[in-house]
Copies of this chain bind each other. A is one copy, B any other.
């Protein structure tokens, strides 16, 4: 094999390594999404068995994080990635941290679902929590989809969704606070639900983190902690 052939061979291997890391992130994301869906379903349907399954599965997500992290270190050490390849590795390192923490939040919701004592009165609130849970799950899904397609515009679109999630959060919080004020004995049970809703709100925040990493990956600029107007200018090239 001549020199060109060898360097072509190496670069193909390198591309395969990057592709493998990218795929592993998406696999990890798929499991996180499933955990989140199951945790919310367990809460909504008062399904203690499903809730326990969520709690018991979290270790898989943790193992995936450690594995992908290790792979990134290997690539940094052996391949010395530059430019967009280096940004990809940085994006992966940060994204999997948020995915792992989303997994932790799903586990927390699972724990709450295990001890939930469902009453008739809670039905409509649980339905609203289910709706919010689905909303943040779709956000996580779409953020990872934007990552898979390195699509900054989609990432920005998902990022914007978080405002709607925050509104849902506030509505449910008001409802839960009313229940507590009406019936002091319900306070401990309601507090568990409160923590779960807070977890969902945090998951929405983490999905926006992933969106910011994707915008960085595509544009090569760090848009964290800037205004929405600044992001739109960077991503869409215009002020809306």
Q: Please give the residue numbers on chain A whose beta carbons come within 8 Å of chain B beta carbons, in ascending order.
A: 59, 62-63, 65-66, 69-70, 73, 76-77, 80-83, 86-87, 90, 93-94, 97, 177, 180-182, 184-185, 187-188, 191, 194-195, 198, 222, 224-225
- Chain B residue nearest to A72 (CB atoms) is B90
A191-B177, A225-B66 given; A86·B93 CB < 8 A: no
Contacts of A77 in B (CB 8 A): 82-83, 86
Contacts of A184 in B (CB 8 A): 180-182, 184
* Alpha-carbon separation in the docked complex, A93 to B76 (Å): 14
Establish whether residues B69 and A222, one from each chain, have CB atoms under 8 Å apart when the complex forms.
Answer: yes
Which 3 A-B pairs rank lowest in CB-CB distance, beginning with the nearest? Answer: A62-B225, A80-B80, A181-B184
Give the number of times this chain occurs in the complex, counting copies. Answer: 2
A181-B187, A184-B180 given; A73·B86 CB < 8 A: yes
The smallest C-beta distance from A61 to any residue of chain B, in angstroms, reads 9
Which of B65, B70, B177 is A187 in contact with, Cβ under 8 Å? B177
The smallest C-beta distance from A41 to any residue of chain B, in angstroms, reads 25
Some 12 contacts from A to B, beta carbons below 8 A apart, are A62-B225, A63-B225, A73-B90, A76-B86, A77-B82, A77-B83, A93-B93, A177-B187, A177-B191, A180-B180, A181-B185, A195-B198
Knowing that A65-B225, A77-B82 touch, tell me 4 more A-B residue pairs with CB under 8 angstroms: A73-B86, A77-B86, A177-B188, A198-B198
The smallest C-beta distance from A145 to any residue of chain B, in angstroms, reads 23
A93-B93, A180-B180 given; A224·B187 CB < 8 A: no
Interface centre among A65, A86, A225 (most CB of B within 10 A): A225
Which of B63, B82, B97, B225 is A59 in contact with, Cβ under 8 Å? B225
